[in-house]
Structure 1
Amino acid sequence: MRVVCAGDEFISGDLLARAVEVELERVGLAGKFDVLDTPWPTAPFGEVDGVREAAGDPQRLAELVRGADALVTHLAPITADVLAAGRGSLRVVGVTRGGPVNVDVPAATAAGVPVVHLPGRNLGAVAEFCVGTMICAMRGLPAAAAQLSAGQWDGGGFRYDRTGLELRAATVGLVGLGAIGLRVAELLRAFGSRVLAADPYADPAAAQRAGVRLVDLPELLSECDVVSLHARLTGETRHIVDAAALAGMRPGAVLVNTARGELVDTRALDAALASGHLRAAVLDVFDPEPPAPDDPLPRRPEVLATPHLAGASRQVAEESAARIAGEVARVLAGEPPEHCVNPDVLAGPPT
């Protein structure tokens, strides 16, 4: 089997190749590997020939994929031209992401190529990031650390009116209760937090097991000290946190967004912070991304802003490579994968 492994500075092509080699041996197959890497995240990703959040040269990838049995990547641009170059040989595309937006899925489906992926691949890293930054934001730590770094000792953080809540005393609302939301709920339960969730598609049994009470969005906003966003971006959820939603939040609450920047009306959020209605915000995602140089939110002292790092951990890189290797090996061995975005192609062409 010839496998093209297109990596980057987070999940390298060599890491992918080693993982696929192990899994191919497990199913009795041997592999030959072509490896290339892009300079992401040193160089940003973007839109490439109709796919999103992609990095790399599709022409170079198309050259390598000719005659290949499998293509495995993190965020290389799997465009219609790349898939066309693999026509007749390419049997599977593996993407180490929850949502393979860097793949032209309709083109893959038309070519009869299954696209396997990894839902929830970074849920542990994101959940820990959420809980850790909730603590930082509620206690005012980012602004205090910045002042001390600038040579200013601010002892006023011990004034009662400036102190924040501990998680054990906080009600936390999760907008979206998928894999990441459930993991956040489990961690919060260990702290003693009361946890609410708003998600019309949530599994009530899973929510009950995690100790979460399902409510509608207005109730969640009005009752919670912290609101953390975990919803997918759809037409329904774009700007789900708008001026009206922010006005409905409890005064002094904290907003955490590690999902998608487009979920939040950023101008309305800036106004809510400027007025003092919200205590703080944690923003790991932006609209657009990276944020514009004149975007006021990352510069606000009450905002903990990070450059889309919630899912960055060594475990994510290593485990993602191993998991996608298993999915690719299963397809090449004629076995069904666990997660495929276009499962109809697995049945083959209609007779």
Structure 2
Amino acid sequence: MTTRVLAAGDLFVRNRLFIDALRAAAPGDLEFAELTLPWPVEPFGRVAEVDEASGTEERLIEALRGARICVTQMAPLTRRVLEACPDLELFGISRGGPVNANLEAATEHGVAVCYAPGRNAGATAEHTLALILAAVRRIPQTHGDLVAGQWRGDYYRYEAVGFELLGSTVGLVGCGAVGRRVARMLAALGAKVLVHDPYLDGLGDLADVAELVPLDDLLARAQIVSLHARATPQTTGMIGAAQIAAMAPGSIIVNCARGALLDYEAACDAVESGHLFAAAFDVFPEEPIPAGSRLLTTPNVIVTPHLAGASKQTAANAARIIAEDVGRHLRGEPLLHCANPGALTVPRPA
């Protein structure tokens, strides 16, 4: 029996990556349709009731005609799409979380949604380390001055220089797939690593390189604080003015996780006042960053455009993880990364 699959890739996780991964991991006769979404050339946004999506409901509905399976990164799985596509039974989202899917509606329609946790852990961990080093050593500022014709010897003043990671204390707020990699990288460079994560009972194989501590203790002791938590109602705004004030004078804060975790106005205030030596961010409460934002003008604030996870390996990992769950689905095996297991018990149309 031929299974029709829609590969709704984009300009990062391309259709050929999905199709090659599916041919390697999924059994049987697969027939492919393709839809290319405009992300990242066009920013993602809200589509109907789902967030961080690319493309339109209309284009997706048309492309899904007769498809039992869809693999994508950014396509919007909305109630309208589900109602228009009764053949659909599995929707694979090649991201760390299925934010562009209406999980309640998918469950009602018996459509399982799988996702790809850890796909970009290596890339994001490396980008985090890069931002830490860039902030500590003032690399963007000194580069900008030099190409502008200024040889800034005054950066060598004791008050202006940063510190080495060797012997420094770094605090990680959250210790999932990314945080664990960052912890090992920092430990290899000679840093003392503190971890705060209320969902951990212990550090497991990180016990030899890190110490599990309460958040207040981490903020008081760390010279660098790096955020690695998911955005949930419990973590939204968890680092605000009071928490930044509790950090040691001259310290650094880094965020490559989610913009909702941090009060950016408070961070800019702290950098401007000199309480923080620097800050470095890859994620923001509003993306793209609005024109006129203090994030673009505050000295010693380093920003990159939400590309910590951007690597060729991430794109390949994303396609592979989803393809493996497609293979499990077609073989009648349990899905490894199902966001709505209740959908698997809903009777499918005959």
TM-score (norm 1): 0.95
Asked whether the equivalents of residues 92 and 332 of structure 1 are also in contact (C-alpha less than 8 Å), the reply is no
TM-aligned CA deviation for residue 169 of structure 1:
2.0
What amino acid is the match of 2:299?
A: P
| Per-residue Cα deviation, 1:60-80 (whole angstroms, up to 9, x for no partner) | 111121221101001111111
Asked whether the equivalents of residues 21 and 30 of structure 1 are also in contact (C-alpha less than 8 Å), the reply is no
TM-aligned CA deviation for residue 237 of structure 1:
1.4
Deviates more, 1:3-12 or 1:340-349: 340-349
2:39 corresponds in structure 1 to: 40
What are the ranges of 5 or more consecutive residues in structure 1 without an aligned counterpart?
none
Equivalent of 2:159 in 158, 161, 164: 161
1:16 corresponds in structure 2 to: 18
> Structure 1 residues 291, 338: CA separation in 2 closer, same or farther (over 3 Å shift)?
same
Matched position secondary structure for 1:167:
coil
Asked whether the equivalents of residues 257 and 283 of structure 1 are also in contact (C-alpha less than 8 Å), the reply is yes
TM-aligned CA deviation for residue 301 of structure 1:
3.0
TM-aligned CA deviation for residue 85 of structure 1:
2.1
Instruction: Work out which structure has the larger RCO, using CA pairs closer than 8 Å and 6 or more positions apart in sequence.
Output: 2
What amino acid is the match of 2:175?
A: L
Equivalent of 1:251 in 215, 226, 249: 249
Equivalent of 1:293 in 291, 294, 302: 291
1:4 corresponds in structure 2 to: 6
2:279 paired with 1:281: yes
**In structure 2, what is the Cα distance between the partners aligned to 1:116 and 1:298?**
37
1:1-351, aligned counterparts within 5 Å?
1-24=3-26, 27=27, 29-87=28-86, 89-206=87-204, 208-209=206-207, 211-349=209-347
> Structure 1 residues 210, 118: CA separation in 2 closer, same or farther (over 3 Å shift)?
farther
What amino acid is the match of 2:35?
A: L
Asked whether the equivalents of residues 17 and 35 of structure 1 are also in contact (C-alpha less than 8 Å), the reply is no
Asked whether the equivalents of residues 173 and 195 of structure 2 are also in contact (C-alpha less than 8 Å), the reply is yes
Matched position secondary structure for 2:332:
coil
TM-score (norm 2): 0.95
**In structure 1, what is the Cα distance between the partners aligned to 2:197 and 2:274?**
28
| Pairwise CA RMSD | 1.5
TM-aligned CA deviation for residue 121 of structure 1:
1.1
**In structure 2, what is the Cα distance between the partners aligned to 1:275 and 1:205?**
36
Matched position secondary structure for 2:29:
coil
> Structure 1 residues 247, 294: CA separation in 2 closer, same or farther (over 3 Å shift)?
same
* Structure 1 residue ranges (4+ consecutive) displaced by more than 6 angstroms after TM superposition: none
| Per-residue Cα deviation, 1:85-135 (whole angstroms, up to 9, x for no partner) | 221x22211010011101111111001111111111110000011112111
Asked whether the equivalents of residues 182 and 207 of structure 1 are also in contact (C-alpha less than 8 Å), the reply is no
Matched position secondary structure for 2:280:
strand
Asked whether the equivalents of residues 186 and 210 of structure 1 are also in contact (C-alpha less than 8 Å), the reply is no
Matched position secondary structure for 1:172:
strand
What amino acid is the match of 2:101?
A: V
**In structure 2, what is the Cα distance between the partners aligned to 1:208 and 1:306?**
29
Give % identity: 46
**In structure 1, what is the Cα distance between the partners aligned to 2:211 and 2:345?**
40
**In structure 2, what is the Cα distance between the partners aligned to 1:79 and 1:312?**
26
Matched position secondary structure for 2:70:
strand
Deviates more, 1:12-21 or 1:72-81: 12-21
What amino acid is the match of 1:178?
A: G
Asked whether the equivalents of residues 178 and 202 of structure 1 are also in contact (C-alpha less than 8 Å), the reply is no
**In structure 2, what is the Cα distance between the partners aligned to 1:36 and 1:275?**
50
| Per-residue Cα deviation, 1:282-325 (whole angstroms, up to 9, x for no partner) | 11011111111111112223011000010000000012112211
**In structure 2, what is the Cα distance between the partners aligned to 1:209 and 1:94?**
35
Matched position secondary structure for 1:146:
helix
**In structure 2, what is the Cα distance between the partners aligned to 1:9 and 1:45?**
12
Report the number of matched residues: 346
Asked whether the equivalents of residues 207 and 214 of structure 1 are also in contact (C-alpha less than 8 Å), the reply is no
TM-aligned CA deviation for residue 330 of structure 1:
1.1
**In structure 1, what is the Cα distance between the partners aligned to 2:213 and 2:203?**
14
**In structure 2, what is the Cα distance between the partners aligned to 1:231 and 1:174?**
9
Matched position secondary structure for 1:63:
helix
